Amino acid sequence: MQGKINKRVVCITALYLAKFDQDAVVELGCKTWDEVYQKIGNILDYKPSAIKNYRDWFDPHFSNPRQGWYQREPYRTIRDILEEFRNHEFENLTEIVKNILGEDLSKNLDISDSSTSIANLFKLNEKQIQQ
């Protein structure tokens, strides 16, 4: 299941969940965290528990009720994503995550539907990522 999608897009999505917590749940059209992890897992072809585990790496760096893995030194990929995306505002990071997940978040998409949206992430221009 895992491995078809670049871990970078999974990490960006996990950072979004950690940074914006309940606002991310609402923006993604979900009612519960289980629904969020299931929906993202289906779209990105990752286990929902893996999405939650990636979020654990980012939780200690943001003010949300979760402690995350504060006792562990983050991997380089996690540090790089934090450095690049931690200061993005809600609207900008929401746009990036919605590009990753695809435009239709009202239903679970299969991986063939989401491959185009994942390609869009790599087409984001430098200006959008630098904002």
H/E stretch holding 4: none
Give per-residue pLDDT as tens, 10-52: 999 999 999 999 899 999 999 999 999 999 999 998 999 999 9
Within 10 Å of residue 23's Cβ, how many Cβ atoms? 13
Indicate the DSSP class of residue 112. H
Cα separation, 125 vs 107, whole angstroms: 28
Mean pLDDT, the chain, integer: 75
Alpha carbon dihedral 105, 108, 113, 116, in 10-degree steps, equals: 40
pLDDT for 37: 94
Paired tokens of 114: 């989401």
For the chain, give every domain's residue range: 7-130
- Split at pLDDT 50, 70, 90, the class of 109 is very low
Rounded mean pLDDT of 54-63?
A: 80
Indicate the DSSP class of residue 69. S
